[in-house]
Each structure stands twice: as structure tokens, then as C-alpha cells.
Structure 1
């Protein structure tokens, strides 16, 4: 699996049929729902403004309050209608970071033990040692692939649901939902770069000798486990970077 081929693409380049489906859902469904919700939030915000004005200013509507409500409604409208361009742009920023490290170090999935196992003449101990290290490397690689595929699908799902979340920018009470959603999407986009950094660091840090039956000894057994755990935590690391606390 070429990780840069998968993680270093724009959202539309990850899967053409998948992206076509995303575009159809956004344009025909979630954008319309987002606009309906935006109108609702705007009416709700204007009603709340009148209520506060009647309570605090003896029925006088404060113009700047109404202006702020209209500005945030326009912002929400721009985000809802521009989802198909805004979120891929965020992902492209991460892709740029990924491409900058493409020629630095090695970024490969683990397979520390040699596929050619020892013969029976090498002894049962070496055979068991090789089998354990080989299985650990394969399982760790599978975990990494699952995390990468999950992250890719999350990008598509978040893009499709974005217009609904962005409509909350029109409401001062629910605006935090849209902000949190945007941060989460940034974290998902950034996760690809974090995964590559983890793999690159592990390859440079361990540098085991992959020849022979045991293939690097204890490091070939421990390192795949450590890397798999870190890759599983890559989502938390990405969330911490954007301020979601992991």
C-alpha cells in the first residue's frame, strides 16, 4: 500500500465514485436542509433579539444587534453553500504538508519478519519466534490500514453532513456546534499527516535488521505493537492539535 498515494491526495482524488456520491448528496440533500435550518436559526435569532430589546430597552430594537444577526446569517449561508469547496480546501492544506515530507525518510507498513520462515532444521524456538514476529507485524499493518480507510470515509461523511452543522453559525446559542464540527474536520484531515509522521519516526527510530529468522530480535516484536497503538491514537493527537483536547 502506497501511503502517499492514499493520504497525499485531495478529497476528490481518494475515490472518484465516492466523491461523486458526496457531491450529489451535498447538492441535492444536505445543502437544502442546511439552508432550511439557517432560515429557522435566523428567525429564532431575530425573535430573541426583539425579546431582549423589549425587556431591556423598552421596545427599542438595537440596530447593531440586528446587524450582527444578519452578518452571522450571511456567514452561515456562505459556509453551507460553499461546503463542497471549503472542506476539500482544508484537506488540501494537510495534503500539502504530507507532500513536503514525501522524500524524507521511509514511510512503510510493518512487516519486520522475513516472509521466508526458518526451516525445521533451525529449531522449534526460532520457528515460534519468527511466527510471532511475523504475525505481530501483519496484524499491526492491518490495524493501520483499517485506521487509514476509516479516516478516508470520515472525510466523506463529514463533507456530506457539513451544511447541516454549518447552519448553526447563524445562531449565537448553537454556533459552538458548527465551530466544534469544523475543528473535528480539521483533525480528521490532519490525521493523515500524523499517521505518516508516526510511521516515519518508527522506521527511523527502530531500524531493525530484517534479515534472518528472528528479524531484528525483540525490537521487531515490540515496535509494531507500539506503532499500532500510536496510529490508533492518531485521532486523539490530531484533535489535541486543533484544541479539542483529544
Structure 2
């Protein structure tokens, strides 16, 4: 009598379980994009901002460091003759090196993220390789349930679907916040690069490069977390049984929350590994 209702509820429950996997597949596809591919308009804007607004300031800072380094050199009583020329040449080389880095910061930053992209592409796996989760077993188990039982499962599935939707949004926010951080750091990259010429403040530029390397490494951790999530979701299918077909849904929701928690941690993992 209520076959149409039972079929609709069963289809909703199955779609809820399957969407937990497919929704995170889109998060994966976003995570592996390069900063320029994710939003080329923003990338071009921050590069232009760095070139037109920040680079002139960085040149001034670099000139100041040149004067400070020379002043510090001339104060040393033990520097005379050819040794003085040697130290002056060394200072000028540091200034030239910093200037080259400042003016080619886009190439350097792109190279850092290209390395991480190459690592991801050479890993020879994507979350799509895990395939669409087949829910035929769940459908068979649900077909043996009564209408009243299915109504209870339907309410539970709605709650879990809402929670999984929030988890997916949080995962997308984590991934996209990484891109925002990259754009902000790129927009002011010339200033920390200018400090490389200073013996005292050079640590600022070194920490900046380490931070960019950590952001590049961040995507590798994100990809690993999402891939393991896909494996766990696929592995939850055998837990389906006729007595309680919702076990797989509960387990899948638990893995989804676990994946979001792990994604929150990936940033600190990459920073601690690089030593930022």
C-alpha cells in the first residue's frame, strides 16, 4: 500500500550515504588546484599589487639595508685594504641576490606550488578512483524494513544529511582559506624578500619562504586525508546488515566528521614539519 513511500525513503537514505562521499570529491578537486587556476583574477590582482604598490617600498627597504650593512662594515676597525673590498663585494652580491628574488617572486612562488602539484600528480591516485559507492546492499536491507521503521530512518537520515552538509561546507572553507592565505602572502612577498639582504633581519625572509613551503605542503596533507576518507567510506559498505542497515550511514557520518577534524589539523601539521 505504501510502496511508493517506502521506495522514496529508501532512495533518500541511499543518496544521503552516497553524497557523503561524492561531496568530498569536489573538495578534493578544489584542493589540488594551483593558486592561479583557483582564481586567476585574484592571482593577477595580488601579483599586480605586489609589483606596483609593494615592490617600490621593498626597494627602499633594500637600499636602507645596503646603507646599514656598509655603515656596519666601515665601523669595524679590523677591516682594511683588500679585505674591505671583499666584504663590500659580498654585501653588494647579497643586495643583487635579494633584488633578483624580489623582482621574480612570482616565478619562485609558482615553482614552490608546482613542486607540491607534481608530488600530488605523481602519487597516481585520486579520490575518483575509489569509484561511486554502490548502495545496492543498503537498498536490499531497507526493503526488508517496515514503513514505520523506514520513517524513523528517514528522520535520522535528514539529521545526518544536514550534519554532513555542514561538514562539507567546513571542509571547503578550510581548503579555500589556504588559497586566501596564499594570495595575501603573495601580495606582500617583495617586502620579506627584501630582508634577505640583512644579516640581522634576514630571518624574516627565510621564515616567509618556509611559510610558503608549508602552504605548498599543506595540499599534500589535504589530499592524503581526503583519500583515506574515501577508502574508509568505501570500506564501510560491508558493515551493512539486514538487522540495522543504518550502521553504514552512522559510520559514514562519523568518518565525515573525522575527516573535517583532520583537515583542520593539516595546516598545523605542515607548519610543524617545515618548522615555521
TM-score scaled to structure 2, two decimals?
0.74
Q: Which runs of 5+ in 2 are unaligned?
A: 1-24, 136-144
Choose the corresponding residue for 1:204, options 223, 228, 231: 231
The number of aligned residues is 236
* Higher RCO, 1 vs 2 (CA within 8 Å, ≥6 residues apart): 2
CA RMSD of aligned residues (A): 3.1
Q: How far apart are 1:126 and its partner, in Å?
A: 2.7
Counterpart for residue 233 of structure 1: 265
Q: Which residue number corresponds to residue 23 of structure 1?
A: 47
Q: 1:220 aligns with which of 252, 256, 259?
A: 252
| TM-score, normalised via structure 1 length | 0.83
* 2:253 aligned with 1:192: no
Deviation at 1:160, TM superposition (A): 1.2
CA distance in 2, matches of 1:46, 1:87: 30
Q: Deviations over 1:15-34 (max 9, x none)?
A: 12112212221221111111
CA-CA distance at 1:172 after TM superposition: 0.3
Aligned equivalents of 2:70 and 2:148: distance in 1?
Answer: 83
Larger Rg: 2
Shift of 1:195: 0.6
Q: How far did residue 175 of structure 1 move?
A: 0.4
Superposition deviation, residue 11 in structure 1:
2.7
Query: 1:166 deviation in Å?
Result: 0.5
Of 106, 111, 134, the match for 2:161: 134
Separation in 2, partners of 1:233, 1:162: 25
C-alpha distance in 2 between matches for 1:89 and 1:107: 28
Q: CA deviation at 1:80?
A: 0.6
Aligned-pair distance for 1:136? 2.7
> What do residues 101-145 of structure 1 show as CA deviations (whole Å, max 9, x unaligned)?
35345489xx9x9xxxx9972266534532343233222211110
Which structure 2 residues correspond to residues 78-227 of structure 1 after superposition, within 5 A? 78-101=100-123, 103-106=125-128, 121-122=148-149, 125-206=152-233, 207-209=235-237, 214=246, 216-227=248-259
Structure with the higher helix share, 1 or 2: 2
Between the aligned partners of 1:228 and 1:3, the Cα distance in structure 2 is 11
3-state SS of the aligned residue for 1:25? helix
Runs of 4+ in 1 over 6 A off after TM superposition: 58-61, 210-213
Unaligned runs of 5+ in 1: none
- Pick closer, same or farther for the CA change 1:107–1:190 going to 2, 3 Å: farther
Q: CA deviation at 1:10?
A: 3.1
Cα pair 1:4 1:98 within 8 Å, conserved:
no
